[in-house]
Amino acid sequence: MLLLVPVLVAAVWSGMTTFRERANELGDQARVIAYTTAAYVNRDLTNLDGTVAGLQSNPDIQSLSPVLGEELLRGITQARPILASTIMIRRSGETVARATVLQDIAGESNDWAADVFKTGMRVVSPARMSRVGNIYYVVVAYPIEDGSTHVIAALGLFVNLQTIQDSFTGIPIPDGSVVNIVDSEGHILARNREPERFVGQVVPPDQRPLAEPREPLERVGLDGVRRMYGEARLDGAPWIVSVGLPLSIALSRAASLWTRTFAILAFGLAGWLIVAFGLSRRLARSVSHLETAAQRIASGDFTPVERRRMPTREFDKLQEAFDSMLQRFNDTRTAIDVKMGEERRIREELQSLQRQVIRQERLAAVGQLVSGVAHEINNPLQAILGFAELLQMQADVPESVKTDLSLIQKESARACNIIRNLAMFARQQPGEAEPVRLTDVITSVAELRQRRLESQDIELRVEDTSAQYVSAVLTELQQVLLNFVVNAEQSIVLSGRLPGRITIRSWDRDGRVLLEVEDTGPGISPDNEAKLFQPFFTTKPVGQGTGLGLSISYGIVDSLGGRIGYRSSPEGGAIFYVDLPAADAEAA
């Protein structure tokens, strides 16, 4: 019985939702009908505009000839069923010509002509009722101009609203629907239902259409029927077409769907009750079996539980939980041993990390020592370089000696460059960032490693096409590139792929400066790619790497706003690359 409550709530909610959806669909349908009706009326008014456009350019009309003008107006009036009368009036108020179908409209007020002379534009008068015959009409008035574009007369077309009303009575609409045409003052000009009762009435302000059509809305009409109204504005006149479709249509549509929904829910509930009764019996047997097993375990019997087929997945999971509990109980001792082994491994790893930190501190101390030694060696080298240059300048020195002196000078200069680079690498404080060209970085690293690589039978290629600057510290970029080159060298040597090749490339692209180092080594295993830039991770043998080079390089490049990464070489080796933003040209 409790299940009936949500079923009924769901049925009521579904019915209300369905009714609201059908009401919205009814509103959209009313708006479509309103636009269709407006198109019919616009068609008639557009035909009038086209007809008058031909008259305005007719010389007989512009000359205000009474005889010829009346003949033209008579032909137009008789050819247009929508017209009850046609009249042309001078600016002085005199009638030039007139053609009448309904005599009672011909003598109506001509105050519309004053509006035409005042505005010089097309005018549509409010709805009026003729004095004889009770015929509702509107006057569509046009200016008549002479050759100098002066308004010399006003042409008034008396439109019989009954003909407009007849034009949309053939539009298929549901029973009980209403179609109204309302002017800007709220007067009903035409209506499909009970026109003799409502045409000419003023619509109350709360039911009056707005100047611009609005979204479909629900309201009670003049006849007391609640409908969904849709509106459309006429292009040829200041009128609004309002179409109302009775909400009873939406209610009948929703009721049929609600009835089917309720029947489906009722059948579903009955089926559920039958299924629930059958399941309850199976569940009771399953609970009894599990209760017996629990009592046996509580008594100290940890033998496996007798497996039975369970009615639901939850009971099957519960039966598996009993077995899993027994297995975990027996495996506890093994798990403790594994945990102790893991703790020993963690301690050993921690000790290894401590040794690596100590090794890094020693490397820093070696850097300081190298810096001092480089300074001390640089002084005698400068003396050797200077004396070699002085001896070459002496005229009495033989050519063979000059050749040797030139070699001494060349090698001394190279040694000075190497010592200068070592001193920059050994600095503890790199300094402020400044514009740097990758050419300078590549040249300094190549000088440091060229001889070493040649001795290892490894070719060093440089493809340097970069011309832009980057904002960085020179020694930091040297450290990054040196890490790449040293790693590539060790990868080739350890793999035994000799002779080998290391290629350093640089180029500019879209405001970025790119640097990459490619080797012919074995590359990086896919399992290790995600850990390349983690601190203390290395693939080198014990004692040959600290695992800090790439992580330090990552931190340097990241601080410069760049990207560092790895990808496989098409030849099977490794490519490490750096992507840095180019420095501003003014800063460079």
pLDDT of residue 63: 81
Residues 6+ apart with CB under 8 A from 577: 514, 515, 516, 517, 564, 565, 566, 567
Residues 6+ apart with CB under 8 A from 184: 211, 238, 239
Rounded average pLDDT over 37-42: 81
Query: If pLDDT is split at 50, 70 and 90, which confidence band does 452 have?
Result: confident
**Long-range CB pairs of 378-386, under 8 A, 24+ apart, other chains included:** 378/416, 378/419, 378/420, 378/423, 381/412, 381/415, 381/416, 381/419, 382/416, 384/408, 384/412, 385/409, 385/412, 385/413, 385/416
Rounded average pLDDT over 174-178: 84
Q: What is the residue whose two structure tokens read 């040794």?
A: 355
More confident residue, 370 or 89: 89
Is the pLDDT confidence value at 28 over 60?
Answer: yes
- For 219, what's the count of Cα atoms within 13 Å in the CB-facing half-sphere? 18
Do the strands 458-464 and 500-509 form a parallel or antiparallel pair, or are they unpaired? parallel
Q: Please say whether the beta carbons of 229 and 24 come within 8 A.
A: no
More confident residue, 223 or 420: 223
Least confident of 109-118, 349-358, 450-459, 479-488: 349-358
Mean pLDDT of the chain: 78
**What is the per-residue pLDDT across 144-154, written as a single tens digit (0 to 9) for each?**
888 777 888 88
What are the DSSP calls for 98-146, one per residue?
EEESSHHHHTS--HHHHHHHHH-S-EEPPPEE-TTT--EEEEEEEEEE-
Least confident of 14-23, 176-185, 413-422: 413-422
Q: Please say whether the beta carbons of 259 and 16 come within 8 A.
A: no
Helical axes 399-425 vs 313-393, angle rounded to 10°: 150
More confident residue, 260 or 505: 505
pLDDT of residue 506: 92
Q: What is the residue whose two structure tokens read 């933003």?
A: 581
Q: Please say whether the beta carbons of 243 and 173 come within 8 A.
A: yes
Is the pLDDT confidence value at 541 over 70?
Answer: no
Least confident of 178-192, 381-395, 490-504: 381-395
Query: If pLDDT is split at 50, 70 and 90, which confidence band does 323 have?
Result: confident
∠ CA 540-543-546 to the nearest 5 degrees? 65
The one-letter amino acid code at 35 reads: Y
Percent of the chain with pLDDT over 70: 82
pLDDT of residue 543: 47
What are the DSSP calls for 38-87, one per residue?
HHHHHHHHHHHHHHHHHHHT-HHHHTT-HHHHHHHHHHHHHH-TTEEEEE
Q: Please say whether the beta carbons of 284 and 311 come within 8 A.
A: no
pLDDT of residue 428: 43
Query: How many residues comprise the chain?
Result: 588
Is the pLDDT confidence value at 31 over 50?
Answer: yes
Least confident of 242-246, 412-416, 425-429: 425-429
Query: If pLDDT is split at 50, 70 and 90, which confidence band does 353 have?
Result: low
Q: Please say whether the beta carbons of 64 and 90 come within 8 A.
A: yes
The C-alpha atoms of residue 546 and residue 147 are separated, in whole angstroms, by 101
pLDDT of residue 119: 87
- Which residue ranges form the domains of the chain, and what is each CATH number? 45-158 (3.30.450.20), 331-428 (1.10.287.130), 431-581 (3.30.565.10)
Least confident of 236-250, 479-493, 526-540, 568-582: 526-540
pLDDT of residue 54: 81
Virtual CA dihedral for 569, 571, 574, 580, nearest 10 degrees? -40
Which residues lie across from 144 on neighbouring strands?
Answer: 153
Rounded average pLDDT over 380-386: 77
SS3 505: strand
The C-alpha atoms of residue 241 and residue 38 are separated, in whole angstroms, by 6
The C-alpha atoms of residue 102 and residue 499 are separated, in whole angstroms, by 113
